[in-house]
Amino acid sequence: MAPSSRAQPMHERRHELAQLVAKDLSSSSSSSSLSSLLLAAYSSAAAASDASDATSASWALYTSSSSDSSVDSVQSAFILSSLQLASLLPPSEALQAMRHLDMALMLNAPYELLEDILHKVEPLAQALHKNSLAPCPPWFQATTSSTTSSSYPPLLTPSAPPPQASFKKEYYNPGKPLLLPEHALDWPAVQRWSNLAYLDAALGHRTVPLEMGTFPATFREETLRFGEFARNHLAVEQSTSSPAYLAQHALLEQVPALADDVGTPPYVDELSSEETRVLCWIGTAHTVTPLHYDSYDTMFVQVVGTKRFTLFDKTETPRLYRTRRESTRANASTTNFSAVDVDAPDLDKYPLFAEASGVTVTLEPGDVLYIPSNVWHHVRALTPSASISFAF
């Protein structure tokens, strides 16, 4: 759903797209009624209630188990009806309008398709957020304990960052992890994001996707305004069974102003042949990313708090019990996960894991960790934390 030339007013482009999407929807028995709702939402006499009806209907259809050929059109209908609803809501409901814009962005709405609405709505939503809640408290100051120790030896670290040629020869080509202590300590984010009130002012009014609880027993996905996430989770102590995580989210694309706080890790520009994917990870203590590997290289930058990585070379794969795991994000399954809980391995069930050779590294603010593709890694937040990963 790519917008056309900027010479065309964007509100006209949205109307044009709505007509095209409605036509596609009308040819499917499961979504023909949504076609009428979308047309009503974009009629000259449309009210917020019309756009709300189309938004609700398209979301219900999109999140149902149905996966027929109209799924792309249903997604487009949700985006377009959400944008129309945001544009029709009164200023007093700017926070709700902002939520509809963010939901559209989470479903991959082109930023330029909603930029004009965003510029009108966001200042109003920001003011309402600031006036509706008490000042944001600081990050909860958790301390690590002996229970967070690891039985694996530490990752060996060179005395100085290697030059580009040495990095490529000694780490990149053989797929060997590398820790660069304090290499990003001068990034503005390291200082600014340590003040939770700064993040609250920048995006407290924005809706973000969260992973709640522990997998698989209590895991669920929610969307919440960041201001509520900060006050109810990041600023208070969380039990080990109730972590909350803004995980692998393109936050800098959703809130471009935050990109000014972030630099570029070493080696990335020289080695990346495609656009680098930048993702943010913000959560409470006790958040865990299970043991897995990725098909791409990653530079992982710790910004706030402390995280512990346990890493295994790809040659350890026979001892790591690769398994299939359902992916809630993609409605699919992946096979790059291990069945073993690194923190509490069941060696009766997975005896070969006892023979696996791994290393551990604890990241502090400003540290950068290079994780090669196909290197297994398990991640645990020892405190509330914020991190940024660069996939290339």
Which amino acid, residue 147? T
Count of structural domains within the chain: 2
Q: Are 344 and 295 a contacting pair, CB within 8 Å? A: no
Least confident among 16-30, 288-302, 351-365: 16-30
Q: For residue 103, what pLDDT is reported?
A: 98
Both 228 and 346 in one domain: the answer is yes
- State residue 327 phi and psi, 5-degree precision: -105, 115
Domain membership of residue 317 (yes or no) is yes
Burial of 84 (0-12, 13-18, 19+ CB in 10 A): buried
Is residue 329 over pLDDT 50? Answer: no
Return the pLDDT at 309.
98
Q: What secondary structure does DSSP assign to 222-275, as a single string?
A: EEEEHHHHIIIIITS---TT--EEEEEE-HHHHSGGGGGG----TTHHHH-SSP
Contact partners, residue 168, CB within 8 Å, separation at least 6: 267, 271
Are 227 and 314 contained in the same domain? yes
Where among 101, 132, 163 does a domain terminate?
132
Domain identity same for 123 and 159: no
Asked whether 356 and 312 are in contact (CB, 8 A), the reply is: yes
pLDDT at 155 over 50: yes
Statement to judge: residues 90 and 44 lie in one domain: yes
Same domain, 113 and 55: yes
Whether 199 maps to a domain, the answer reads yes
The string of pLDDT tens digits covering residues 207-262 is 999 999 987 778 899 999 999 999 999 999 877 778 999 999 999 999 999 999 99
Instruction: Supply the mean pLDDT for the chain.
Output: 92
Residues 262 and 387 in one domain: yes
Q: What are the pLDDT digits (tens) for 186-222? A: 999 999 999 999 999 999 999 999 999 987 778 899 9
Same domain, 126 and 154: no
Query: Is 222 found in the same domain as 368?
Result: yes
pLDDT over 80 at 332, yes or no? no
Q: Confidence class of residue 68 from pLDDT cuts 50, 70 and 90?
A: low
Largest Cα–Cα separation, the chain: 70
- Is 137 a member of any domain? no
Share of residues in the chain with pLDDT > 90 (%): 83
- The answer to whether residue 193 sits within a structural domain is yes
Chain segment 94-149, per-residue pLDDT in tens: 999 999 999 999 999 999 999 999 999 999 999 999 998 889 999 998 776 544 57
Q: Which of 86, 110, 132 is the last residue of a domain?
A: 132
Q: Could you give the percent of the chain with pLDDT greater than 70?
A: 93
pLDDT tens-digit series, residues 20-58 = 999 999 988 778 899 999 999 999 999 999 999 999 999
Residues 340 and 234 in one domain: yes
Domain boundary among 132, 158, 190: 132
Size of the chain, expressed as the number of residues it contains: 392
Instruction: Give me the CATH number covering residue 281.
Output: 2.60.120.650
Is the same domain home to 212 and 307?
Answer: yes
| Structural domain for 101, as ranges | 10-132
pLDDT of residue 67: 53
Classify residue 322 by burial, with Cβ atoms within 10 Å: 0-12, 13-18, 19+: middle
139 lies in some domain: no
Q: Are residues 197 and 97 in the same domain?
A: no
